[in-house]
Amino acid sequence: MADTTRPVTILISALGGEGGGVMTDWIIAAAREQNLICQATSVPGVAQRTGATTYYLEVFRDKLEPGKPEPVMALYPQAGDIDLMVASELAEAGRACQNGFVTPDRTTLITSTHRFYLLDEKMGMADSRLDAERLEKAVRAMAKRVIAGDFVRAAREAGTVINAVLLGAMAGSGLLPMPVEAFERAIRSDGKAVEANMRGFHYGLSVARGEVVELAPKTRPLPAAPQTAQPAGTLLALRDRVARDFPPATHEIVIEGVARVVDFQDFDYGKLYLDRLAPILAADGGDYSVTRETARYLALWMAYEDVIRVAQLKTRLARLERVRAGSGGKAEQPVIVTEFLKPGLDEFCSLLPASLAAPLLRWADRTGRRDAFNVGLHIRTSTVLGFALLRMMAKLKAWRRRGYRFGVEQALIARWLAAVEAGLTRDPALGREIAECARLIKGYSDTHRRGQGNFLRLMDTIVDPTLARPAGPDTDANAAAALATARKAALADPEGNALGATLEKLGRVAVAS
Amino acid sequence: MERSFKAEVESLRLGNGEVFEGEGILAVTKGLLQSGVSYVGGYQGSPISHLIDVLVDAKPLMDQLGVHLETSTSEAAAGAMLAASINYPIRGAVTWKSPVGTNVASDGLSNISSSGVIGGAMIILGEDYGEGASVIQERSHAFAMKSTMWLLDPRPNLPSIVNLVEKGFELSEASNSIVMMQLRIRTCHVYGRFTAKDNREGKISRNHPQQRPEFSLMRLPQPGFTVPQERLKLEQRLPAAIRFISENKLNEQFPGDLSEIGIIMQGGLYNTVMRVMQRIGLADAFGKSRIPLYCMNVTYPMVPDEITAFCAGKRAVLMMEEGHPDYIEQALNTVLRRADINTRVFGKDVLPMGGEYTADVVLKGLAAFLDKVRPAGIDAVIDTAKAQVEKIAGYKASAGELLGNPVPGRNPTFCTGCPERPMFTSIKLAERMVGPTHVSGDIGCHSFGMYPPFHVGNTCVGYGLGLASSTGIAANFGKRTISIMGDGGFWHNGLTTGVASATYNNADSVLIVMKNGYTSATGWQFLPSSAQRREGLEAQDQSIENALRGVGIKWMRKVNNYKVGSVAKVLREALTTAEKGLKVIIAEGECMLAKQRRVRAEDAKNIAAGRRVAKAKFGVDDQVCTGDHSCIRLSGCPSLTIKENPDPLRRDPVATVIESCVGCGLCGEVSHAAILCPSFYKTEVVHNPGVVERGLDRLRRRVITWLATPPAPPTPMIPGEVGLAQAAE
């Protein structure tokens, strides 16, 4: 049968709040205006609010005429039969490919390349994101033609929602039997946010037509420190030491690391950082990847997040500007900023000398009062008093070295570094795995305690027993593999169930071998 | 209500010959008015909510036509309305989501069916089956069979649907039976057109009330009369229905030249089957098929004579029947065996027993049927069909390979700022204090608490049944149990099946009633306890608190859901207090979507009028955040997400708050109550600040700039090398 009676088939996958329904209405209006035969239907996600909604449309190229037979329109998209697939987000484009709605013989795929993360990706204790690069490559490979761009950003810049941009891309795809003006009139006759929608529409149109459209350059999320201040002499000296003593492959991380710890404490601390790295470097006979990773985690660990550090970070001018920018407030508008802090016994003890702090914490643990003294503070850092309070906390930096926590962290760091060095000497893979264990330590209060606990469990149950045994290729490779497995398990659930199970299993295997 | 239907109301007024354009469910509504209904009732639920919503907005038209609209508190209430048509020649229609709503309504329906009706009585069923369904997967067909109600399943185009609405009322009156019309999700939402007729006013209506009560024992399902009524059903009503269906050609036959085979299908599947046949060259775009088709726009009862006539002389027929059990296929086999017709019946042997019959499923089934029967002269077609099936499988496989792992699903979750989410955070925190316990969930937005990240709710067995479903286990559980109910479920039946019953039986558990002011999941319809009532109804006091006191609740606490810390303490108290009896926590917080719609408009007005408005939003300090994401595990808010870590040393993504944040305050509460981390902050942008505030702000900013921590030393570059920050550009 002739293909002229084939409708253009359009499948749209949008998320809640993206205006998929309005976009469908625009398409219908454009088709109706041209007296074309058009049908649309939709299936909302389970939650009307947050799930993905799909819209399926068919537009016949024939005009509607009285007396002429009307075609039978389908309500279901058919795999392998979609002319135009529109995905408002990259993973949804991937899902469409998975379901057979994007095929290389037929489908033009319009997709935004941004990600709206799934809860599974957000919840992970480390990094559970899908591989966006692979995702994009896959959807590009499956489509006959791709019209892609960061349409969310384009919409934001146009002051509109993504639906207008996607509509423009559809109009520009040349696949629909309606002229561009029909879509424009649909937007105009809708009468809502017309100018912004038209800006978004024209952006999408240009992308579809292959015209190069420059978006404002993406601002780096972390503004680089103001370049006006030159690094002080001592920091330059440290830099020169890095340039002299460390191989180029490690420079960028070691330099970043040393700057971080100097900012955290002082130049001596920076020197200590390099002193601590030296033996690792000496033992590293490979491509220096172990030195690099150790340098990364060492810097993060040495610049640990105590109240002083938090206060320091929260009272920087650059941070104030960032907060203002994020609030959406204009330069002349007052922006009230409230910080949510809840310091407790841990924070208090971190500043006390060890002789007082250690027994106090032991008592608190014994009586279950570790979190009993936390005070919820709402500090308004947009007021002078509130800001000054945080600024004073930041000034406690000078006292930090005398506090309990500083000692605890240094001792743990020393233990970890010694293990990395010992492991590295035996087997680079083992050294690398021991270095990576430091990734487990992060967060605040019980999150931090849990991370530290997991780290210690790995040290006690795998690292130390391995290092106590004589070196051997099997022992070390097994230990490296076990560490990798256990580390993954430690990041699987906050309750530590997976880690417990994994360690038990590993223990049984060790006994069995 | 979520949407205003002012524009759609106008299309309900269209007269003879005018063209109606719009959504399927609104076309049905127009069909009801064209049929002269005098009462309409229903309980909202996807995909039929709009039927009621549009009628709420159409009050002047309803007044003019004398139609009474009942926004019932449950499907049982709605279904019982049809009793009006037992004694009087008055037409009426009710609507709900099926099969769950039909379950709720079925007691009344059974009895009305036994009595029989003299006025046309119709139920519009939103069949929530298949992709995107939010309820258990069952069929409404069973109710039709067991209660002797007729089931319509029209071809999914607007003219057919509206025509069948009108014919359905005639069928109901001709056979004295209730008629149900089943509409699938995609059909309810389909956008199409049909030529309208004038609306009709009922013979009996608000404008022309019935003056005399009618009484007849034969219309009462009382002992001594139910058995004769059953005889009436089988000996009069069923034959009358079959006669009417046949005489009015409600089922359609389409000829085809491949006369040795045929397809019998539910009307609702017609468009899918036609498109699939078009793709393999067995039909054209305008409905001309090579295979003879028998399209059942009435799926119950079956018309045996039509079936035998269609099948006679055919080698094989394919029964396309969506859902299980295969009621129609069984009936078809019985009819053919009785008539001793040896046509082979294919159906669930080449098609899946359960699940939605999508285009892919139909293609596969049709290909398998043709391949097995092999009608003469269409070998090429069969090869095309089989090749298409293989091609699609191949594409799916290569996409799977390219993607690696399948893309995980997007589970439903609470909206940004939803007042119900914090309650689940509180339950999680209370669990940390007193240990986890059994939680009996309920239907409503709050059922999303069962999904990640909360996993709260061990059962979910029916609307309003949260508390009732806990009573068996509560008595046998080592801890006090919790049950949850929304205000929608509370008024639907929870007050009686749950609170009254449990209290009467000395329950000693905890009930949380989520009071957000609307049936939010279905589009913000008002409830008895809503702050407002539907247009045209005067406000009256039907508070949850009074209702609870009335059924003897002593321990009652009202909490503000967003105050997570104190809510967790109230929960702990409820779970541990020595006081016996049912402890009810009324969890207050207006549906945020509804609230935002109101507040945003108010804010815009105030800002335009020059009044001071502070707009709140939350943020995360990405240098302070360590990328542990425990905040997300305790919230799951769509506006709280992750982004690339801007710190070149760190690898794990950091938390971030995106623009959709409405500043509900949960982030701050959680970071306090759970002692999470200090990276959250709240910003309030002040619009139209006064002179004093502006002056103070300028002064503050100057002092703060002077006070601020000196900038971090810039990373010293090694000449000629690229640093990490640059490398990341």
- pLDDT score, position A215: 63
How many residues are given for chain A? 513
Q: Minimum mean pLDDT among A148-162, B124-138, B250-264: which range? A: B124-138
Nearest CB among B134, B400, B727 relative to A252 is that of B727
* Alpha-carbon gap, residue B311 to B661, rounded angstroms: 62
Query: What band does B671 get if pLDDT is binned at 50, 70 and 90?
Result: confident
Average pLDDT over residues B88-95: 98
Contact between chains at B642 and A129 (C-beta distance less than 8 A): yes
Q: Which of A39, A333, A334 shows the shortest C-beta gap to B192?
A: A39
Counting residues of chain B whose pLDDT is more than 90, the rounded percentage is 85
Minimal CA separation from A344 to chain B, in Å = 9
- Residues 6 or more apart in contact with residue B231 via CB below 8 angstroms: none
Query: Two tokens at A337?
Result: 């900023």
Binned at pLDDT 50, 70 and 90, residue B729 comes out as very low
Beta bridge partners of B512: B484, B585
CB burial readout A35-51, b (16+ within 10 A) else e = ebbbbbbbbbbbbbbbb
Token pair for B502: 């449990």
Distance CA A100, CA B673 (A): 46
Cα–Cα dist B495/B468, whole Å: 10
Kindly give the parts of chain A with pLDDT less than 50: 1-2, 47-48, 218-229, 511-513
Phi and psi at residue A270, to the nearest 5°: -65, -40
Could you report the per-residue pLDDT of B259-289, keeping only the tens digit for each? 999 999 999 999 999 999 999 999 999 999 9
Rounded to the nearest integer, the mean pLDDT of chain B is 94
Question: pLDDT tens digits for A322-355?
Answer: 999 999 899 899 999 999 988 888 889 999 999 9
Summarised one tens digit per residue, pLDDT across range B534-578 is 776 777 779 999 999 999 999 999 999 999 999 999 999 999 999
For range B331-349, the mean pLDDT? 98
**What is the DSSP secondary structure assignment for residue B519, as one 8-state letter?**
B
Contact A78 B276 (CB under 8 A): yes
With contacts defined as CB-CB under 8 Å, which chain A residues touch B400?
A: 98
List the single residue in A134, A299, A374 with the smallest CB-CB distance to B649.
Answer: A299
- Residue B138, helix vs strand vs coil: coil
For residue B281, give the chain A residue with the closest CA. Answer: A1
* Contact in structure between B91 and B203 (CB atoms under 8 Å): no
Q: What are the pLDDT digits (tens) for B377-403?
A: 999 999 999 999 999 999 999 999 999
Q: Are strands B583-588 and B555-560 parallel, antiparallel or unpaired?
A: parallel
Separation CA B185–CA B615 (nearest Å): 39
First vs last C-alpha separation in chain B: 47
* Residue A15 main-chain phi, psi, to 5 deg: -100, 165
Q: Read off the pLDDT of each residue in B695-708 and give the average, rounded to a whole number.
A: 94
Residue B723 binned pLDDT confidence (cut-offs 50, 70, 90): low
Minimal-distance CA residue of chain A relative to B633? A123
How far CA A431 is from CA of A58, A251, A253, A312, B286, in Å, comes to: 60, 20, 18, 34, 71
**Alpha-carbon distance B675 to nearest alpha carbon in chain A (angstroms):** 6
Across the range B20-40, mean pLDDT stands at 96
Q: What is the largest CA-CA distance in chain A?
A: 97
User: What is the rounded radius of gyration, in angstroms, for the C-alpha atoms of chain B?
Assistant: 31
Over range B214-236, report the average pLDDT. 96
* Nearest residue, CB atoms, A47 vs list B275, B412, B727: B412
What b/e sequence results for A280-305 when a residue is b if at least 16 CB atoms lie within 10 Å of its CB, and e otherwise?
bbebbeeebebbbbbbbbbbbbbbbb
Is residue B244's pLDDT more than 50? yes
Using CB atoms, which residue from B360, B523, B621 is nearest to A319?
B621
Distance CA B59, CA B368 (A): 52
Yes or no: say if A483 and A462 are a contact pair by the CB < 8 Å rule: yes
Residues 6+ apart with CB under 8 A from B395: A79, A80, A100, A103, A104, A142
Largest CA-CA distance found in chain B, in angstroms, rounded: 104
Q: Do B723 and A95 touch (CB under 8 A)?
A: no
CB–CB of B649 and A252 under 8 A?
Answer: no
Question: CA torsion sign, B99 to B100 to B101 to B103?
Answer: positive
Distance from CA of B404 to the nearest CA of A (A): 8
* ω into B301 cis (within 30 of 0): yes
- Asked if B362 and B282 touch (Cβ cutoff 8 Å), the reply is no
Cβ burial A337-367 (10 Å sphere, 16+ → b, else e): bbbbbbbbbbbbbbbbeeeebeeebeebeee
B394 to chain A: closest CA residue: A100
A-to-B residue pairs, Cβ atoms closer than 8 angstroms = 427
Picking from B447, B390, B442, B401, the residue whose alpha carbon sits closest to that of residue B421 is: B447
- CB-CB contact of B341 with B316 (8 Å): no
pTM of the model: 0.93
Contact B370, B378 (CB under 8 A): yes
Contact flag B402-A138 (C-beta cutoff 8 Å): yes
- Predicted confidence at residue A509, as pLDDT, reads 57
- Rounded to a whole number of angstroms, the distance between the first and last alpha carbons of chain A is 70
d(CA A102, CA A371): 54
Q: B278 and A1 in contact (C-beta within 8 Å)?
A: yes
Q: Is B285–A97 a contact, with Cβ atoms under 8 angstroms apart? A: no
Sheet holding B298-300, edge to edge: B68-71, B39-42, B92-98, B121-127, B179-184, B150-152, B298-300
* Test the B interface: residue of A252, A264, A266, A346 with most B CBs within 10 Å: A252
Q: What is the pLDDT of residue B1?
A: 61
Asked whether residue B313 carries a pLDDT value surpassing 50, the answer given is: yes
Say if CB A280 and CB A294 are below 8 A apart: yes
**Six-digit token pair at A159?**
């002051």
> Of the candidates A305, A67, A337, A329, which has an alpha carbon nearest to the alpha carbon of residue B622?
A305
- In single-letter form, the type of residue at position A370 comes to R
pLDDT of residue B202: 96
Q: How far is B12 from chain A (nearest CA, A)?
A: 19
A473, containing H or E segment:
helix A473-490
Query: What is the three-class DSSP state of A84?
Result: strand
Q: pLDDT class for B687, splitting at 50, 70, 90? A: very high
